[in-house]
Structure 1
Amino acid sequence: MLTNPVWAALSGPQACFAEAAGNAARYLPEIAPFAALSDPADPSAWRDLATITDFAIVTGPSVIPLAGWRTESVTPGVQMIGQSMSGVDDPDTVVLTEKDVPEMLELVARAKPGPFLKRTVDLGRYLGIRDSGGKLVAMAGERFRMPGWTEVSAVCTDPEWRGKGLAARLTLAVASGILARGELPFLHAVHDNDNAIRLYGRLGFTHNADVVFGAYRI
């Protein structure tokens, strides 16, 4: 399941956010740019994908697109799991909802944690920290959800507020909510984001697999 998390999510608990065709599925375009195939090595699954989108970000241990799909970028990453970690609730966090999306998008533009769109917040519980003036300065939330596992995602801090431990607090708080449901947290990081990988290691996440994030267009 962890080797193909987007497929496990879109064919399982997050099917309500999916557009699917045969052995391929994608998140609705306002939710996330990710797509998945039941078997990335199956040419017919790539043909199914072409019937629902002409662009997709596909992740897995290895992704080789079918001829006709142009590779726009391939970013190596790591998958980490929190199989034996403990979450920590944080009384200073606030739950972020649809009304907070404009602020969340502004923070994402400043902090650049990765894909986050107008309805990404619908995928799960998002938490934020605000400064004394009420400005959103850090956030984290849930993205891919599959049986037994939920991904911690969009962990980001305003550049002016980095170094104060906000990312760690939010990651632990989001993980706490996941663990409280009887699920386990996991996450992804770009392979050369050494600071983030070290932080997640200190919080109790361990390396599970090397992965790639490939952007493909037909």
Structure 2
Amino acid sequence: MLDNPIWSSLTTGHARFALADGPARRFAPDVAPFLGIRDPGPESVAAMARLAEPGERITMVGVVPDEAPGWSVEKRAAVAQMVFEGNEPVEEDDPAILVLGAGDVPDMLALTGLVYPEYFRPRTHELGTYLGVRREGRLIAMAGRRMWPGHFREISAVCTHPDFRGQGLARRLLARLVTEILRDGLSPFLHVDAGNAGARAAYERAGFVVRRDLPLVRLRRESP
């Protein structure tokens, strides 16, 4: 399930969001840039091409094709997949934490654009609950639920504006999401750049452990 998180999400918890072609599934471009395949074989690679427009970029995690004719590789990296194995955080009343919605999308795009410019899209918030902290009307921190493979729930878009880091905002948002996911009977997990030792250490302090590193690839569909 977690070895192929995009495919698993689009065939279970987020099946209603799936644009499908045989052994390939993807989110609509305005929801998320992710495409998943059942396996790395030629049938899956052919199906990928039918789900993307020329010039379009998609991101894959976990199961990626060995070769992808008709695609240009723009990025290859590794992400550490971390699962929560800690104790449920002690719930504290935190009135500063707000539930974000459609009206907050411009601010969410602006904030995530500072850290994750490729990954958050105008409809990403539809994938799950996103929480944020505002100060004097300005969105300064956020985090939310993204992929949903089976009984696992991904925490994503954990970010704080550079002007407000070091105040524990991300930690508070993370704790709230972990608590809510556990109470829904699901298991929290997340992904972080495998080379980001600081972020990995912060998540470990929050009760997450590395399950394994997964390949990440960003591809651009070439013109015929």
Please classify the TM superposition score into its range, dividing by the shorter chain length: over 0.9
Match of 2:73 among 64, 71, 74: 71
TM-score (norm 2): 0.91
Distance between the aligned counterparts of 1:111 and 1:99, measured in 2?
A: 21
| Cα contact 1:128–1:140 (8 A) shared by 2 | yes
Q: Which residue of 2 aligns with 1:5?
A: 5
Letter in 2 for 1:169: R
Alignment partners' CA distance in 2, 1:78 and 1:8: 17
Structure-to-structure mapping, 1:1-218, within 5 angstroms: 1-39=1-39, 41-54=40-53, 55-60=57-62, 63-90=65-92, 91=94, 92-112=96-116, 115-131=119-135, 133-218=136-221
Percent identical pairs in the alignment equals: 38
Quick one: structure 1 residues 74 and 115, their matched pair in 2 at CA, closer, same or farther if it must change by over 3 Å?
same
TM-score by length of 1: 0.93
CA-based RMSD: 1.6
Secondary structure, in 3 states, of the residue corresponding to 1:9?
Answer: helix
Q: In structure 1, what is the Cα distance between the partners aligned to 2:117 and 2:197? A: 14
Alignment deviations for residues 65-122 of structure 1 (CA, whole Å, 9 cap, x no partner): 3333221111221000003442454522100011111111111123447510100000
Q: Deviations over 1:151-196 (max 9, x none)?
A: 0000000000011111111111111111110000000001122221
Q: Counterpart of 1:100 in structure 2: which amino acid? A: D
Deviation at 1:62, TM superposition (A): 5.8
Q: 1:94 to 1:88 in 2, by over 3 A?
A: farther
Name the count of aligned residue pairs: 216
**2: distance between equivalents of 1:160 and 1:111?**
13
Structure 1 consecutive aligned stretches of length 4 or more whose deviation exceeds 6 Å: none
What is the alpha-carbon distance in structure 1 between the residues aligned to residue 66 and residue 153 of structure 2? 26
CA deviation profile, 1:4-35 (whole Å, cap 9, x unmatched): 01101111111111100000010011000000
Q: Is the 8 A contact 2:41 2:65 kept in 1?
A: no
| Structure 1 runs not aligned, ≥5 long | none
